[in-house]
Structure 1
Amino acid sequence: MTAFEPYPSADQLHQWRHDFHRHPEIAFEEHRTSARIVELLREADIEVHTGLAGTGVVATIEGTRGPGRTIGLRADIDALAIEEATELEWASTTPGRMHACGHDGHTTMLLGAAWALARNPDFTGKVHFIFQPAEENEGGARVMIEEGLFDLFPMDAVYGLHNWPGMAVGEAAVHSGPSMAAFDVFTLRLSGRGCHAAMPHMGDDVILAGCELVTQLQGLISRERPAHQPAVLSVTQFHGGDAFNVMPGTVELRGTLRCFDPALREYLEKRFREAIQASADFHGLTVELDYQSRYPATINDAEQAAHCAEVLESMPEIQKVHYDLPPCMASEDFAFMLEKCPGAYIWMGNGDSAALHNPGYDFNDALAPLGVAWWQALVKHLLG
């Protein structure tokens, strides 16, 4: 396979990406971003549908070779509530908002592929370009699906990608099964009788109970999880008390539970609830638990992952394809799309950049043309 003509040019892609980066918008607030995406798509005379999940955009290109399969290509468009610390020329102009996960780059690559394929739609069937809002924590993919994504735009398969810091530009990773973990969050409140710190026997020690619980819950991972099935439980917040000499009446703990296997996820939630109630009963406390199952695990369809691997191996722009990298315990709401439609989610190297969700992170501009070539190559392989 020969390299694709670099259209749009690398300079054009960088201009688009820097513009998105300067104007980051968080979940369901991506109004400027969405409008700019629509503007660029229409500039290339591409059919556009707006309004799914509020700020979502779906563009469609039909191939000139006649009827065939239909595939979806997805990019996330939202930013994070982070104060940028890069001091780059194209740094965020919005205080407290930053493209710290590379969604500005993902959007740019998919736009570039849409422009290139609109210029040369030499394939069968149809391609839907899905620009999805609210990937970070708020489940924009789920909302797009609930509002009719796959009913309005039926697809035989759907594909996504994420840039990957620490992996060299020109390298990629494909998993034949799980690639990202399921994501649950919890808020737990233990309540009892507050009292003077000098007389703890007159009240209920919710601080002690909370501290014990933080350590006891790790037994779910170390002793009740099958050794071959990864899982992680992290208590990330502990709030209680506001005076040196008062035993508080309430403490609140927050955190997250992540794993890959759906049955294990269900079991761990059940045991989590039982462990909390048992601890509360032992200490004579009442317990309130808000447990939310946010994202399912991102699990690639093996056949679609194999298609991705074949395409990557054939691209001169890709020097290495990794098949043995462990799946990541972070989460991705593209998982909702994979629950409804066969597909695959790959990683593409972002080079030696800061980590994702870091104030010093920046998407690597060298990756943009490669991502455009990847999307074109995938379409040609599947529909050509």
Structure 2
Amino acid sequence: MKLYEYAAKEIFSKYDIPIPASTLVSDADGAEEAARKMGEVVIKAQVLTGGRGKAGGIARASSPEEANIQAKRILGMSIKGFPVKKVLIEEYREPIKEMYLGITIDRTKKSPVIMASPQGGIDIEETAKNSPEQITMMHINPLTGIHEYQARMLANSLDRNKSPELINIIKKLYCVFIDNDCQLVEINPLARTKDGIIALDGKMVIDDNALFRQDFSQEETGSLEELARKNGMSYVGLDGEIGCIVNGAGLAMATLDMIKHYGGTPANFMDVRAGANAQQVKTALEIVSSNKNVKSIIINIFGGLTKCDEVAKGIIEIFPEIKIPLVVRLSGTNELEGRAMLGKYGIQMASSTEEAAKGVVGLGHSN
């Protein structure tokens, strides 16, 4: 589960990680009132996706009136399909230096890994590609936790002159990561200002499997990811035009790769998981087809616990409402029954992942 920036920063604050003063508002008048108290501010769209700055979802305002105008503009935006319903009004803190600090899980090493770079404010992937020597990575033994020497080495790689402050923040951020069952926690930029080190942005992703023991009060987002999760499925939005519904994460990734191989661009990752029933398949189609960028949809099912006739039933229930062409590949349990059911509706069938991917890319290009 992704957290909004304001929610991540509320958690940072509980761990005494410095953050700017801020107010969450849902209208332009609220933004103007907040700016009147703070002075120069930054208006930041609260959406569960990256790229806000490039999309115009972050703006500075030097007066309450300007804050009103900018907030009104941003609140009317949609960023990568996410409507902006709230903005964070944050006091402007001028960075002297911008750094990056993040923690995630290295599944190969089976341990948390802390990444630090003296170059912040841009995508860490961009830094890794263009200046890999600027990134320091430190694996942390999950049984012993972070050691003093590890925190010191990371802090020195960021800013040796501010090492004591940075050591303190690194240790606290690791506590945030562990205590809240994070898959990712990130500060970008972590800025040095005239008043000290401060987290100007915050990102947190919580492990869905640990949500039962976490108490997050974040409001429901109505996002496709959230809707899928509530129905026992996994969904990740992407930037392409071909919708994907698959059972099993491995097969889903292979399907996405095959679509790219044939010149298509996936619009999403969707795993309906083993044993999906007709209602889940129907819901999956509703979710994927609601993306206005989707021009064609591939359904790739390998029937083990999942029964192909159940999948076919779910497709048939919603097929008349969907105006997007489908390519369906069914293989495994009750395959013949499922294929016969779909054949009556003239739905394009495929016998392999490769054939299905090639077909759906062709359909997408023709629409």
Q: TM-score range by the shorter chain?
A: under 0.3
Considering fraction of residues, name the structure with more helix: 2
TM normalised by structure 2 equals 0.22
